[in-house]
Amino acid sequence: MPLLRMIRAELRKILTRGSGWAGLIISALIPLGVLGVLYWAKTQMGGGDSGLTVNNSPVSQMLALEVQTSLSWALTVRNLYVLKLILLMVTGQLVAGEWNERTLRSLLVRPVPRWSVLTAKALAVWIYAALCTLVTLVLALAPALLLLDFELEIDQVCLAFLVSWAADAAIISIGVLVSTIFPSVVGVVVGTVLFVMFEMLLRGMLKAAGFFGVTFADSMLPWMPGNALDSWQGHADGWDERALGGLAVLVAVTFALALFRFQRTDVP
């Protein structure tokens, strides 16, 4: 199928660029770093007279050195800004970068629907994000089963990795939409970051309004995009169906808008 061939071609572009390899390397270093810290804590902070103590209690008794802890910390660190910025950079290179370099037109003159060009690029980055997520999960899980205490109840954390990938897909979809507005990689990264910052400011204003008794403010917060992007935290606090639903809506709406703009934009 032409779409599958286009997706493979876009994946090859990602994996032959420094940004693509940087994302995979960082995805691998995150769980190894977390595991190293936890293993050091387990072996060096032992109990008794030789171990570190707080209020006469061994630190080793305060640390839950389990597989679930390793997965949870790896998940938290991977959702910091570095990997998100790399995903945005990869997205910008595939869409806005080729637009700016005047190479996108060569794809559009082929006998394929215009929508399939943008869809192939978005799917390629989504697959790449899934690969980064899988690298982190496997490297957090496999060594931890050997080095740390085995904890059976890790299914919720593994589910959170899947939700985390969905949040990455939402960020990528926003980046694709921004790519149809600003034809440069820097514009995609800055534009998406500004969107996230504006949304955080709006959420802060709604929280403040709710504190002062504005009734509708609290009811709006669960439906905000930022709440959807943070839905992966449900493995610790309980899953919020509104956040998960909002995540699906965010991906669908932003990508639909990107397709709408791309279909009607003149590409030089």
Under a CB-based contact definition with an 8 Å cutoff, are residues 133 and 22 in contact?
A: no
Q: 3-state class of 66 per DSSP?
A: strand
Cβ neighbour number for residue 103 with a 10 Å cutoff: 10
Q: Which domain holds residue 102?
A: 2-264
**Would the CA dihedral through 61, 67, 71, 72 be positive or negative?**
negative
- Supply the pLDDT for residue 64: 55
Counting Cα atoms < 13 Å in the Cβ hemisphere of 128 gives 34
- Give the E-state strand segments of the chain in sequence order: 53-54, 57-58
Under a CB-based contact definition with an 8 Å cutoff, are residues 257 and 177 in contact?
A: yes
- pLDDT tens track, the chain, 268 positions: 688 888 999 999 999 999 999 999 999 999 888 888 777 766 765 544 445 554 455 555 545 556 777 788 888 889 888 899 999 999 999 988 888 887 887 777 777 888 899 999 999 999 999 999 999 988 888 776 666 555 556 677 788 899 999 999 999 999 999 998 888 899 999 999 999 899 889 888 888 887 777 777 777 877 888 888 888 888 777 788 888 888 999 999 999 999 999 988 776 6
* Beta bridge pairs of residue 66: 149
Under a CB-based contact definition with an 8 Å cutoff, are residues 211 and 205 in contact?
A: no
Under a CB-based contact definition with an 8 Å cutoff, are residues 93 and 186 in contact?
A: no
- Supply the pLDDT for residue 54: 45
Phi then psi for 57, rounded to 5 degrees?
-110, 130
Nearest alpha carbon to residue 94 among 10, 19, 167: 10
- Supply the pLDDT for residue 150: 56
- Supply the pLDDT for residue 171: 94
- Supply the pLDDT for residue 126: 96
Phi then psi for 53, rounded to 5 degrees?
-130, 150
Query: Encoding tokens for residue 123?
Result: 């799917």
Nearest alpha carbon to residue 146 among 30, 217, 66: 66
Total domains, the chain: 1
∠ CA 98-101-103 to the nearest 5 degrees? 60
- Which residues, in sequence order, are CB contacts of 239 under 8 Å at separation 6+? 231
Under a CB-based contact definition with an 8 Å cutoff, are residues 263 and 115 in contact?
A: yes
Nearest alpha carbon to residue 75 among 153, 168, 150: 168
- Supply the pLDDT for residue 268: 64
